[in-house]
Amino acid sequence: MKYLLMLSIVFALTGCAEKQEFEQVVLEKMKIEKDIKDYKIDPEEMTKCVTSKTAMKMDGIFPGDPRRMQAYKNYIKMITLTESSDPKKTLDELRTDFGSPKGLADAHANYAESIVECLSGLVTGEEEKIQAVIEQPATKP
């Protein structure tokens, strides 16, 4: 029983490390993303949104799940593909890591859609706040 508890804790901690590394990589990308800067969106807020939306469609059920840990690693490799010393080799590895070229395309689409949805939501949210201020009747002191 203690062995199972220890094993569960190790998986949970390892899964958390993979998730944190994924979040850090996404944060670094969001800090340099032109649209994030143009719309004055907080990169950390965008990162939270993107990582949670992307994770919804990743393999595995929870951060400590071995399939989820591998998914985090694969997504990190995919996101940092342009920084690879041999992008062609890394791309071939990613096709294998995701099970097929279609699997890689699906993962890329998942990540890209998450960015678009979060950007849209955060921009719309800001516009709604501004619109609420504009539409608010002026109060006399």
pLDDT digits (tens, 9 = 90+) for 11-42: 444 448 899 999 999 999 999 999 999 999 99
The single-letter DSSP state of residue 103 is H
Residue 62 lies in a domain: yes
Q: Which of 36, 5, 6 is nearest to 122 (CA)?
A: 36
The answer to whether the CB of 122 falls within 8 A of the CB of 49 is yes
| pLDDT value of residue 141 | 45
Rounded-to-integer distance, Cα 105 and Cα 136, Å: 46
Residue numbers of the chain with a pLDDT score lower than 50: 3-15, 138-141
Amino acid (one-letter) located at 44? E
Residue 11 lies in a domain: no
| pLDDT value of residue 5 | 43
| pLDDT value of residue 64 | 79
Rounded-to-integer distance, Cα 30 and Cα 42, Å: 9
Residue 103 lies in a domain: yes
- CB burial of 107-136 (b: ≥16 within 10 Å; e: otherwise) equals bbebbeebbeebbeebeeeeeeeeeeeeee
SS3 assignment, position 106: helix
| pLDDT value of residue 134 | 56
Give the number of domains in the chain.
Answer: 1
| pLDDT value of residue 69 | 93
Residue 14 lies in a domain: no
| pLDDT value of residue 133 | 57
Report pTM: 0.80
Count of CB atoms situated within 10 Å of the CB of 60: 16
Domain that holds residue 49: 26-130
Residue 3 lies in a domain: no
Residue 118 lies in a domain: yes
